[in-house]
Structure 1
Amino acid sequence: MTAIFTRKTTAPAAQPDGASGQPYKIKLLQARWIFYLSAAVVIGSIMSFGLITFLFFDLNRQSSIFMLGMILPMTFLVIICLNFILKAMEKRISRLLFAIKEVSNGNLDVVIDTKGAEEYKEIYESFNLMVKELRITKEEMQSFVNELAHEFKTPITSISGFADYLYQTGDTIETAERMQFLKLISDQSQRLASLSQNTLLLSKLEACQIVTEKETFALGEQIKQCVILLLRPFEQKHITVDIPEDFDFDYCGNKELMEQIWINLLNNALKFTPEGGTVTVGCKKTASALEISVADTGVGMDEETQEKIFDKYYQNDTTSLTKGNGIGLSIVRRIVELCCGSIAVESQPGYGSTFTVTLPC
C-alpha cells in the first residue's frame, strides 16, 4: 500500500491490519460465486437469444450446436471481465478503508492519492477534505488549551502570591500597602472572571454559523448606551467621547451580539488612549451598508501589530498587570463575520487607531 497514500510527516504509520501488518483488503465476492453468476448470465443470455432466433428466424440444428459451443468460452470471457472490474473496485475501496482505519487509530496526516481514482476521485477528495478539517480542528483545540492555560496562569499567580503575603504579614503591613495589594487581587480576580466569560462567548460564536433572534432596533441609541455604561472609566482618565448629535439610525440584527461589538471597541479605545485623549464615534450610511467607526488618540499600532490584533489572546501591551485578555477584538471580528460584514483598522504609532465596522443593510 505504499503507493496509495502520501503522508505529511515522516512518522511511521499505524499497522493497517492489526499485528500482521498486511494491507487491509476487502473481498467483494468469492471466486466461485463470480463463476456461478457469470455462467448463469451467459447461459441465460444464449438460451434467450436461441429461443428468439428459433421463434422468429427459424434456427436450424447446426446453428443450435454452434450456440451451445459458445457457452463455455463466453462464460470464461465474462468471468475474466468481471474479475478485472471487481479487482479494480476492490483496490479503490481498500484505499478508502485503509484510510478510515488510519484515522480511527488517530492518524490525521493520512491523505488518499487521487491518481487513477476515476469515479472514486470525488469520494477521495471529500475524505481528504474531512481529514484536513479534523486536523485543523485538533490543532486549534490544542492551541486554544495551551493559550488559555497560559492566560489563566498569570492572574492566578498574582492572586495567590499577594493573598499569601497578606496572610503571612498579618498586622505588620501598613494599611496603604495592604489596600494596594487588595486592589491588585481584586483587579486580577476581575480579569480572570472576564477571561472566563469572554472565552466561553468566543467558543459559542465560533461554533455558531447563523445569527438568530434578529430584530430591528435603534443602533445609534445602543452605541450611546454603551458609552454611558463606560462613562465612569472614561471620566477617570479624563477622556472625551465625541458622538454626533444626529447619531440616529436603525439596524436589523441580534441586539445582544451587536452590543458586544461596541463595548469591546470602546474598551479597547479606553485602554490605549492616555489621559486627556479623545475617542470619536462616527457613522456613514449608504444604500447598501452602515460604516461605524471608533477612533482614538491613543498610542497607535505598527503594521505587524495590525496584522495580529484580531488573533485570539494576542496582546500588544504586556507591561501592565491590569491588561486585557486579548479576546475582545476576536469576539468583535467573529460577530461581524456572522453578520456578513467586515472590520478594518487604520493606525500609526503615536497617532491613534480607527476601527471601522461595515454592516450590510
Structure 2
Amino acid sequence: MRRSRSLKLQFVWTIFLILVSTSMISGVILLGLMKIGVINSLSGYPFLRLAITLLSCVIIGTTISLVVSKRILKPINDLVEGTKEIAKGNFEIHIENDTLKDELGALIDNFNLMAAELKNVDLVHNDFITNFSHEFKTPIVSIRGFAKQLNNPNLSEKDKQESIAIILEETERLSNLSMNILLLSKIENQKKITLKKSSYYLDEQLRMCILLLQNLWEEKNIELSLDLAHLRVTADEELLMQLWLNLIKNAIRYSHIGGTITISCSVFGNAVKVNIQDNGIGMTDYAQKHIFDKFYQGDPSHHAVGNGLGLTIAARIVQLHGGKMQVKSKQGKGATFISILPAIYTEETPTITS
C-alpha cells in the first residue's frame, strides 16, 4: 500500500511540475511578447490573444513532456526489450537499476531475479538432457556391441552366455533408468498433487524393504543391525517405500564385502528420524555437496550399477513430506543418511532391537 501511494504521488508530482514549468515558461514568453508590443497590438483581438496563449502552453507543455517522458519511460522500455530477449531464450539480460526505489524499481529487480532463475533452470535443463543422453546411450551401445557378437557363428557357448548376461543386465539398467525418470518427473510435479497418505507401521515397512533387498546384502555378506521403534505413521506409503529402498540400496552398493549397515527409526521431537548408516567407502566433502544432484555419482567405479537418480528421488520424497535429509560422511569411513519427517507419527511403543 505504501509503495502504491508512493507511485501515485510520484506521478502527481511529475504532472504538477510539468504544469508549473509550462505556466512559468509561457508567462515569461507572454511578458516578452508584451514588452516588444506584439500582444498589445492584438488588444482588439481577444480570441487571437487567447489562441496564442493556449498554443504556447500546448507547445511548451508537450516539449517538456517529451523530454521528461523519455527519462520516465526508459525503465519501462528497457523492461519491454528485456521481455523480448527472454522470449527469444536469452537469459543473460540484465536491466540496470541504480536510482529507482519505487514499484518500478522493485519490478526491475524482480525481472533481473527472474532472468537469473530462468538462466539457472536452463543450465540445469541442458545439463539434465546431456547427462540423460549419456546415461541412455551407454547401455544401448553396449547392447548393440554384444548383440553383434551373438551373430558370430564361431562364438563359443561360454561367450554367448556372457554376451546374453550383459545384454540382460544393460536392458535392466535401461528399465531402471526409465522408471526412475518417470518417478522423478512425478515427484517433481507433486506440489499440485495431494500425497496419498495412509496410516501404517514404519518399522514394518523398513523390515519389508530389507527383505526385498535380501539378495543384494546377502551377496556381499553384509550384516544388518536394526534399532526400530514401533511407530505408526501417516504418510504416502508408496513414496516412503521408494525412499527407504533407494537409501538402503545405496548403502549396500557402497559397503565393503562383509560390512555392516545400521538402520534405526525413532521419535525426534515432533518428528520421526530414520538413520541408514554404512561403514563403506564414504565420500569426499565435494561429493557430499553434490550427492543429491541429478545423475551425480561420486565414485566412478560404481557408475555401471547406478544412474545417479536414486538419492535425488529420495531427497525430493522427504521434501514433499515437509522434512529434510542430511548426510554425514568421511572418506573411507562410511556414510550416514538421516531423514527427518515432521509430525507424521501417531503413536510409539517400546523400541525393538535386533
Deviation at 1:327, TM superposition (A): 0.9
Contact 1:187 1:322 in 2 (8 A): no
**Alpha-carbon distance in 2 for matches of 1:349, 1:139:** 30
Deviation at 1:312, TM superposition (A): 1.5
Unaligned segments of structure 1, at least 5 residues: 1-33, 43-64
Which deviates further from its counterpart, 135-144 or 122-131?
Answer: 122-131
1:225 partnered with 2:184: no
Q: Structure 1's 349 and 80: CA in aligned 2 closer, same or farther, altered over 3 A? A: closer
Structure 1 counterpart of 2:77, from 79, 90, 94? 94
1:159-183 superposed Cα distances (whole Å, 9 cap, x missing partner): 1111111212x3x333333222211
Structure 2 counterpart of 1:360, from 342, 345, 354? 342
Aligned residue in 2 for 1:342: 324
**Alpha-carbon distance in 1 for matches of 2:110, 2:88:** 19
**Alpha-carbon distance in 1 for matches of 2:258, 2:226:** 17
TM-score of the two chains, using structure 2 as the length reference: 0.74
1:276 partnered with 2:258: yes
Q: Structure 1's 306 and 92: CA in aligned 2 closer, same or farther, altered over 3 A? A: closer
Deviation at 1:145, TM superposition (A): 0.7
Contact 1:269 1:296 in 2 (8 A): yes
Structure 1 counterpart of 2:170, from 163, 171, 188? 188
**Alpha-carbon distance in 1 for matches of 2:307, 2:58:** 75
1:75-134 superposed Cα distances (whole Å, 9 cap, x missing partner): 667556655554444333212212122223332211111223344112212222222222
Structure 2 counterpart of 1:331, from 305, 310, 313? 313
Contact 2:297 2:303 in 1 (8 A): no
Q: Structure 1's 348 and 94: CA in aligned 2 closer, same or farther, altered over 3 A? A: closer
Structure 1 counterpart of 2:121, from 118, 137, 142? 137
Aligned residue in 2 for 1:351: 333
Instruction: Please report the RMSD computed on the Cα atoms of aligned residues, expressed in angstroms.
Output: 2.8
Aligned residue in 2 for 1:150: 134
**Alpha-carbon distance in 2 for matches of 1:123, 1:349:** 47
**Alpha-carbon distance in 2 for matches of 1:80, 1:173:** 91
Whichever residue aligns with residue 134 of structure 2, its letter is H
Q: Structure 1's 174 and 130: CA in aligned 2 closer, same or farther, altered over 3 A? A: same
Structure 1 counterpart of 2:110, from 122, 126, 131? 126
Which deviates further from its counterpart, 234-243 or 73-82?
Answer: 73-82
Q: Structure 1's 252 and 85: CA in aligned 2 closer, same or farther, altered over 3 A? A: farther
Aligned length: 295
Contact 1:317 1:323 in 2 (8 A): no
1:160 partnered with 2:141: no
Larger proportion of strand = 2
Where does 1:105-124 land on structure 2 (aligned, <5 Å)? Answer: 105-117=88-100, 118-124=102-108
Whichever residue aligns with residue 257 of structure 2, its letter is E
TM-score of the two chains, using structure 1 as the length reference: 0.73
Unaligned segments of structure 2, at least 5 residues: 1-14, 24-45, 344-354
1:301-335 superposed Cα distances (whole Å, 9 cap, x missing partner): 23232222222212233335742111101111122
**Alpha-carbon distance in 2 for matches of 1:320, 1:105:** 40
Deviation at 1:339, TM superposition (A): 2.1
1:334-353 superposed Cα distances (whole Å, 9 cap, x missing partner): 22222222212222333322
Aligned residue in 2 for 1:3: none
1:242 partnered with 2:196: no
Deviation at 1:284, TM superposition (A): 2.6
**Alpha-carbon distance in 2 for matches of 1:197, 1:344:** 25
Q: Secondary structure at the match of 1:274?
A: coil
Deviation at 1:214, TM superposition (A): 2.5
Aligned residue in 2 for 1:261: 243
**Alpha-carbon distance in 1 for matches of 2:282, 2:75:** 57
**Alpha-carbon distance in 2 for matches of 1:181, 1:320:** 21
**Alpha-carbon distance in 1 for matches of 2:221, 2:188:** 36
**Alpha-carbon distance in 2 for matches of 1:312, 1:281:** 25
Structure 1 counterpart of 2:287, from 290, 297, 305? 305
**Percent identity of equivalent pairs:** 34
Deviation at 1:252, TM superposition (A): 2.4
Deviation at 1:74, TM superposition (A): 6.4
Whichever residue aligns with residue 333 of structure 1, its letter is A
Q: Structure 1's 69 and 233: CA in aligned 2 closer, same or farther, altered over 3 A? A: closer
**Alpha-carbon distance in 1 for matches of 2:237, 2:78:** 50
Aligned residue in 2 for 1:215: 198
Aligned residue in 2 for 1:178: 160
Whichever residue aligns with residue 270 of structure 1, its letter is I
**Alpha-carbon distance in 2 for matches of 1:104, 1:238:** 57
Deviation at 1:149, TM superposition (A): 1.0
